[in-house]
């Protein structure tokens, strides 16, 4: 298995009228192997993303972020750690960090891909040296299409798993930190 293999992790947790959330994964620069050395952290992330409290029919982007924030913090993740040492720069924050694993939730517009990925790079290689691996959580095109069609939830323009997995290998000279991409799918 090379560092860029795509895997699908099926969750056996059924949510909201038998809707099963699946997690699609993409390992960039052997991120899966790095995370497997911290298997309890990897499993914890998967448990958060497939938590039965998540009701697919209610998942607007802000509400999904709020749910994930509560679930990660409950499991001991530090929310909103600074990427740069300047404490007055509110835009330079990662979403969560724990045991040298950084998590960024990318439910925003597709144009934020570069900013989000650079947060991992800076947090890994700068003087801060906070993370060994980044976990980038986004939704898939099929998830977005499903919740838009069935629940009239607005996900148009959001970053997708397909876009990140396509573009991430092209950033190999700029993004040298391992990144584990997780796509929330249905």
Residue 137 sits in a domain whose CATH number is: 3.40.91.20
> Taking 90 as the threshold, does the pLDDT of residue 21 lie above it?
no
Hey, how many other C-beta atoms are within 10 angstroms of the C-beta on 28? 25
Hey, how many other C-beta atoms are within 10 angstroms of the C-beta on 57? 13
**Does this model's pTM top 0.75?**
yes
Range of the domain at 107: 23-33+41-185
Contact call for residues 102 and 96 (beta carbons, < 8 A): yes
In a domain, 97, yes or no: yes
In a domain, 17, yes or no: no
Which helix (DSSP H) or strand (DSSP E) does residue 57 occupy?
none
In a domain, 7, yes or no: no
Distances (CA, A) of 30 to 21, 129, 150: 25, 19, 36
In a domain, 5, yes or no: no
In a domain, 108, yes or no: yes
Report how many domains make up the chain. 1
| 109 strand-pairing partners | 158
In a domain, 16, yes or no: no
| The pLDDT of residue 14 | 41
The 10s digit of each residue's pLDDT in 161-173 is 999 999 999 988 8
């Amino acid at each position: 298995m090379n560092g860029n293999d795509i895997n699908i992790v099926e969750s056996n947790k059924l949510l909201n009228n038998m809707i099963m959330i699946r997690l699609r994964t993409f390992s960039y620069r052997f991120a899966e192997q790095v995370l497997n050395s911290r298997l309890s952290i990897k499993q914890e992330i998967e448990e958060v993303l497939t938590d039965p409290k998540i009701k697919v029919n209610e998942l607007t982007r802000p509400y999904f972020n709020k749910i994930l924030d509560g679930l990660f913090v409950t499991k001991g993740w530090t929310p909103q750690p600074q990427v740069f040492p300047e404490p007055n720069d509110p835009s330079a924050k990662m979403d969560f960090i724990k045991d040298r694993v950084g998590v960024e939730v990318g439910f925003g517009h597709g144009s934020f891909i570069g900013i989000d990925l650079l947060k991992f790079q800076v947090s890994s290689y700068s003087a801060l040296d906070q993370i060994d691996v980044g976990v980038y959580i986004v939704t898939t095109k099929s998830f977005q299409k499903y919740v838009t069609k069935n629940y009239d939830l607005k996900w148009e323009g959001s970053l997708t798993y397909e876009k990140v997995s396509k573009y991430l290998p092209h950033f190999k000279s700029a993004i040298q930190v391992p990144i584990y991409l997780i796509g929330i799918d249905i």
